Amino acid sequence: MEKLETTCPNTWCPGCGNFGVLQAIKMAIEDIVQKGTPRENIVLVSDIGCNSKIADYLNLNSFYSLHGRSIVTGEGIKLGNPDLKVIVFIGDGAALDEGISHLIHAAKRNSDVNVIMHNNRLFALTTGQFTAVSPKGLKGKSTPEGSIEEPLNPLELMLASNASFIARSYSSKFEHLKNLIIDAVNHKGFSFIEVLQPCPSFFNSMELYNKSSYEAVNSELESKEKAMQLIKEWNYNGETKIPLGLFYKKDRMYYEEEMTKHLEKDKEPDIKKCLTTHL
């Protein structure tokens, strides 16, 4: 396979969790292409933020979109050409602050896009401010006394939004993440993978994740109750156990399939027929 790297110099900080995601996605793409998906049918969509630089580092089709808008950009691409495999890279700030409505609606309508949310639990490229998943008390430049807001549990939100594939991984476990990405891409419908990602410059949670995360085994993937139990184990504030893995998966009709089923290939629009209704 033609190389996956571009000539673009990597500007992530040393030790950044994003390197793990980059490694995992490369491995996943190699696998996906090897198993028959044409490389040119893969489209990466990235948002704005440290994580989204990934589009520059991968020699694949990509749309480097606007802040908060990558998920719905991906939905537009998928609706335009349902043959494409769309993988969206987005940070927690973009997914849960700027673009939260798009995240909820993409899950609700079961758009066949795969969302990888790099969760470093703060805005990093703007030098450290709280996001919707920052722990209460996070001291950032906009909250020198500590953030007063409780964090949102993004996976709980996804379950409530009827996302059909919900998972969590950790950037240091790129083999684990790779497998989840492959499963997500193969899943017909919306998939959401949260990737815990330490930010060595502003919020280094590597010690916590190394200590507290564990690979959970879930044999009842279609059970929302079971999923909720796992999702609730960690509340994004404390230092309890943090389960990783696929928490929920349930197939249902996906948006782009339903929305394009009336289309006929190469059919000329019948404007004359429409005009007859105007006489």
Partner 1 sequence: MKNTKEFSIIVGGAAGQGSRKAGLIIAKIFNDLGYNIFIHEDYQSLIKGGHNFSQIRASEKEILSHVGKADFLLALDERTMKEHEKDLAENGTIVFNQDKVKSENGIGIVADTITKELEGLPIMSNTALLGGFAKVVGIDWESLEEVLRKEIGKGIEKNLEIAKKAYDSVSEVLKVDKLKNNPKPLLTGNEALSLGAVKAGLEVYFAYPMTPATGILHYLAEHEKDLNVVVSQLENEIAVAVAAAGSAYSGKRTMAGSSGGGFALMTETISLAAMAEIPLVFVNSQRSGPATGVPTYTGQTDLLFTLASGHGDFLRFVIAPGDVNETCYWSGELMNLAWKYQTPSILLIDKELSESTFSFDENVLDNIQKKEGLLWDGKGEYKRYLNTPDGISPMAFPGQNAIIKATSYEHDEYGLSVEDKENIVMMQEKRMRKFKEMEKEVELLEAVKVYGNIDSKTAVVCWGSTKGAVKEAAEELGLKVIQPIILQPFPIKQFKDALKGVEKLVLIELGALGQMEQVLNSQGIKVDAKVLKYDMRPFTPEELVAKLKNI
Token couple for 228: 């909720």
* 258 forms part of the interface with partner 1 (CB under 8 A): no
Between 66 and 148, whose beta carbon lies closer to partner 1?
A: 66
Give residue 31's identity as a one-letter amino acid code. D
The answer for residues whose C-beta is within 8 angstroms of residue 216's C-beta and 6 or more apart is 230, 243, 244, 245, 247
Exposed, middle or buried, 23 (CB in 10 Å: 0-12/13-18/19+)? middle
CB of 111 to partner 1, least distance (A): 10
List helix spans (H) across the chain.
18-34, 54-57, 70-80, 92-93, 100-108, 154-160, 174-186, 206-212, 224-232, 255-260, 271-276
Residues 55-84: x where in contact with partner 1 by CB under 8 A, - otherwise, as a string: xx--xxxxxxxx--x--xxxxxxxxxx-xx
Neighbours of 175 (CB within 10 A): 11
Between 225 and 270, whose beta carbon lies closer to partner 1?
A: 270
Between 43 and 95, whose beta carbon lies closer to partner 1?
A: 43
- Give ∠ CA 116-135-225 in degrees, rounded to 5: 60
| Range 153-165 burial, b when 16+ CB lie within 10 A, else e | bbbbbbbebbbbb
* 8 forms part of the interface with partner 1 (CB under 8 A): yes
Q: Find the part of the chain contacting partner 1 (CB under 8 A) among 48-56, 117-125, 181-189, 203-211.
A: 48-56
CB of 230 to partner 1, least distance (A): 28
Between 35 and 273, whose beta carbon lies closer to partner 1?
A: 273
Q: Find the part of the chain contacting partner 1 (CB under 8 A) among 43-51, 117-125, 198-206, 241-249.
A: 43-51
* 1 forms part of the interface with partner 1 (CB under 8 A): no
CB of 268 to partner 1, least distance (A): 8
- Give the phi and the psi of residue 134 in degrees, each rounded to 5: -65, 145
Residues 201-220: x where in contact with partner 1 by CB under 8 A, - otherwise, as a string: --------------------
Q: Look-up: residue for tokens 């929305």? A: 259
Rounded-to-integer distance, Cα 92 and Cα 122, Å: 7
Q: Find the part of the chain contacting partner 1 (CB under 8 A) among 54-62, 143-151, 174-182, 204-212.
A: 54-62
CB of 11 to partner 1, least distance (A): 9
* 253 forms part of the interface with partner 1 (CB under 8 A): no
Using CB under 8 A as the criterion, which residues of the chain lie in contact with partner 1 when the complex forms? 6-8, 38, 40-41, 43, 45, 48, 53, 55-56, 59-66, 69, 72-81, 83-84, 101-102, 104-105, 259-260, 262-264, 267-271, 273-275, 278-279
